[in-house]
Chains A and B, each alone.
Chain A
Amino acid sequence: MSSITLQNITKRFGEKTALNDLSLTIQDQEFFVLLGPTGAGKTTTLRVIAGLEKQDTGDVLFDGTSMTGAVPAERDVAFVFQQYSLYPNMSVFDNLAFPLRSPLRKLPKGEIERRVKTAAETLRITHLLARKTAKLSGGEMQRVSIGRAIVREPRVYLMDEPLSNLDAKLREALRIELVHLQKTQGSTTVFVTHDQIEALTMAQRIAVLDEGHILQIGTPHEIYDAPATTFVATLVGTPRINLMQASRQDGRIFVKDSSVRLPPPTGIDLPADFLLGVRPEDVRPTNSGEFSGKVALTEPLGVETIVHIRSGENILTSLVPGITPISVGEEVRFDIVRERLHYFHPTGKRIVAASV
């Protein structure tokens, strides 16, 4: 397994800049997630790492060695494509064995069979081995695609939204399976997704991408608790973070069009106008709450309930555990957890504590 470094990668398609001066380092044996909305450049990043796309500027390093000029086969990566690429004229077995039969590897027959069997068992597709891939369901195809990667022991796994076409149950099972596999093999994995839950649950570190830029790199914890921009803050976490326009007057924080007033944080220099972010779980309805509002909507999800509270012109979403007795139209009182507030410049950049 290898560490991977991208240095100032820029990739253009005609007028469109898909990757803009992108730099990041993926540690050896790390489970690294690229998270971003559609068109962010996630797939392009993987393709540049694999050598399927040549960057316009910048360099790709594997273990510190430049890969410029190395063809995909020489880079020894395993790629799970977003659109599957199973060979329709081959059986599932042959698809799985295909990478092992490469003239580069020359594995003995028994070894190929053993590895295919193991991968098939992991992905629960043993019963499909004899089948032609054209006759598989979407979810089965996706598992075979993953299987074609895990039969190998490459320097790095590149997975492009491999779970996106599966039903919820299977997705959860495979999420755990993949992480387990990565841990036991100690493999370096770059995993692309636009699903923030996948990112938060699987990643050791996450890079958030938008329009070819990296907005933030950090552990799931850092990304969730200290989002670098409002974009990151809204991308991660459901329901979405509450973002409100606020201003600082007379040493207090006034939330615009609302009765919410808060004391200013210590150690942070706030500008006159800024954005205040509050995660829904930090809006807590209680009888002794400091603020009040009217319930506009409740969405019971079973484990928790989303309560929409109207406060002035703003609607705050609140996440409460279980099914609550709170009903629509009711006046409620609520508190906001002060220590977990997020402050952003009107441009969207996080306002951080002045370093001491």
Chain B
Amino acid sequence: MGTRASAPRAPATISTRVDKVGLRPKVTRAIRAFVVVILTVLILLPVVWMVMTSLKSPSDVVAVPPKIIFEPSIESFIFLVTERVQFPTRQEADEFRARDDLKWYEEKVAERGQKITRVGDFPKQLRNSFIIAGTSTIFSVLFGVLSAYAFSRFRIPGEGDLLFFILSTRMLPPVAVTIPIFLMYRELGLDNTYFGLILLYTTFNLSFSVWLLKGFIDEIPKEYEEAALVDGYTRLQAFRKVVLPQAVTGIAATTVFCFIFAWNEYAFAAMLTSDATRTAPPSIPSIQGVGRIEWETIAAASLVFLMPVVIVTFALRKHLLRGVTFGAIRKG
């Protein structure tokens, strides 16, 4: 600070940073960059491949050797959102194509000798995924914040035991209990309902969110709320005005993790949903091609499915990366 205001000194004309001097640092930096690039490529390759596949035409998808350069097409996305039938004969297909009242996407499909019969199931499944994952995330985080706050701030009889008990729901792989849960859900009529899956995902996520958020809330000095209490606020108001704003980092992180879990969950979704409530994950691998396996459609489905997680994570990245800093507290 002081130097800035003091008398001007001669500016340094050569770099005096030791790490810039000599060859060795350059080499290590190059190696470091190389490793990072390799890792990035390794991690991104499947994603890139998926994106490429989703943009290929049906013949390019199965071409051997694989085509790196190809003419992009969005056929796969049309396939993804439609239900189609193959014309039984060549002649019928050509007649259909000759009609001039076809929409551009109908024309695209007709080129493959197919006809769109109705909107496909995927949009609805994606919507189901949104409803179920979104609602369960909101519940997990909401209840998580409230109980984490209670565990953090109040003296609760048997607190340690309760926390352990909450965590114990995570102590075996969820798949191990699919059968009992399936039977229970059948008995209770919860199978094939939104509520059933929301309940299940919330239950699984809650233990995680309580523990994660308790850590974050423990970090917030209780003096903040006490000051608010003394200043004439109720505990709930103090919680809203003082604790919540400081817990955003934790809430953001928890939201992302809960959402990713609920969004990606496969086993229970496969077992407990069908038709009306089926979510996206179990339906992607079972996409029925018309007359063949439509790899490009599966890739397109995966890509679309990936987007919400990417968007949520990207939107909250600032909070995820930011360290938890509490500048205004003096210890001791």
Q: Could you tell me which A residues sit within 8 Å of B by CB distance?
A: 50, 52, 71-73, 76-79, 81, 83-89, 98-99, 102-105, 133-136, 138, 141, 148, 152, 165
Contact = CB atoms under 8 A, between A and B. Distances in A.
A52 B230 contact: yes
Q: Which of B228, B232, B242 has the most CB of A within 10 A?
A: B232
A79 B227 contact: yes
Interface stretch (B49-57, B119-127, B218-226, B288-296): B218-226
A50 B328 contact: no
A81 B225 CA distance: 12
Nearest to A78: B230
A138 B330 contact: yes
Given A52-B230, A87-B242, 15 more contacts: A52-B226, A73-B232, A73-B234, A79-B227, A81-B223, A83-B330, A83-B332, A87-B328, A88-B327, A89-B245, A98-B228, A103-B233, A105-B232, A148-B231, A165-B330
Interface centre among B228, B326, B328 (most CB of A within 10 A): B328
A10 B231 CA distance: 25
A50 B230 contact: yes
A152 B232 CA distance: 11
A85 B327 contact: no
Interface in B197-239: 221, 223-224, 226-234, 237
Contacts of A136: 328
Nearest to B331: A83
A77 B329 CA distance: 22
Contacts of B226: 52, 72, 79, 81, 85
6 contacts: A73-B230, A83-B332, A84-B223, A85-B221, A88-B328, A89-B245
Nearest to B248: A89
Nearest to A71: B229
B293 to A, nearest CB: 54
B135 to A, nearest CB: 29
A194 to B, nearest CB: 13
Contact of B328 (A52, A103, A134): A134
Contacts of B224: 85, 87
Contacts of B242: 87
Which one of A89, A103, A148 has the greatest number of beta carbons of chain B within 10 Å? A89
Contact of B233 (A73, A78, A89, A148): A73
A40 to B, nearest CB: 16
Contact residues on B (Cβ < 8 Å of other chain), bracket: 20 to 34
B233 A88 contact: no
Taking chain A's interface residues, is the majority helix, strand, or loop, or is none over half, making it mixed? loop
B327 to A, nearest CB: 3
A103 B237 contact: yes
B330 A134 contact: no
Interface string B293-332: 0000000000000000000000000000000011111111
Contacts of A133: 327-328
Contacts of A89: 245-246
Contacts of A83: 221, 223, 329-332
Nearest to A152: B231
For the complex of A and B, the 10 pairs showing the least CB-CB separation, nearest first, are A134-B327, A102-B232, A99-B231, A85-B223, A85-B227, A104-B232, A88-B328, A72-B229, A79-B230, A86-B328
Contacts of B234: 71, 73
A84 B221 CA distance: 10
B155 to A, nearest CB: 11
A50 B231 CA distance: 11
A134 B325 CA distance: 9
Contact of A141 (B230, B237, B326, B328): B328
Contacts of B245: 87, 89
Nearest to B242: A87
B245 to A, nearest CB: 5
B318 to A, nearest CB: 14
A86 B226 CA distance: 11
B96 to A, nearest CB: 63
B154 to A, nearest CB: 13
In this complex, which of B227, B331, B332 has the most chain A Cβ atoms within 10 angstroms of its Cβ?
B227
Nearest to B223: A85
Output the residue of A78, A87, A133, A138 with the most chain B CB within 10 A. A87
B256 to A, nearest CB: 21
Given A89-B245, A103-B237, A84 B230 contact: no
A75 to B, nearest CB: 8
B246 A72 contact: no
A62 to B, nearest CB: 14
Contacts of A105: 232
A110 B234 CA distance: 24
Contacts of A52: 226, 229-230
Contacts of B229: 52, 71-73
Nearest to A165: B330
A67 to B, nearest CB: 13
A138 B228 CA distance: 21
Contact of A81 (B227, B326, B327, B331): B227
Contacts of B331: 83
Contacts of A138: 330
Interface string B245-256: 110000000000
Nearest to B327: A134
A85 to B, nearest CB: 4
A88 B246 contact: yes
A81 B328 CA distance: 12
Contacts of B325: 134
A85 B326 CA distance: 11
Interface in B115-155: none
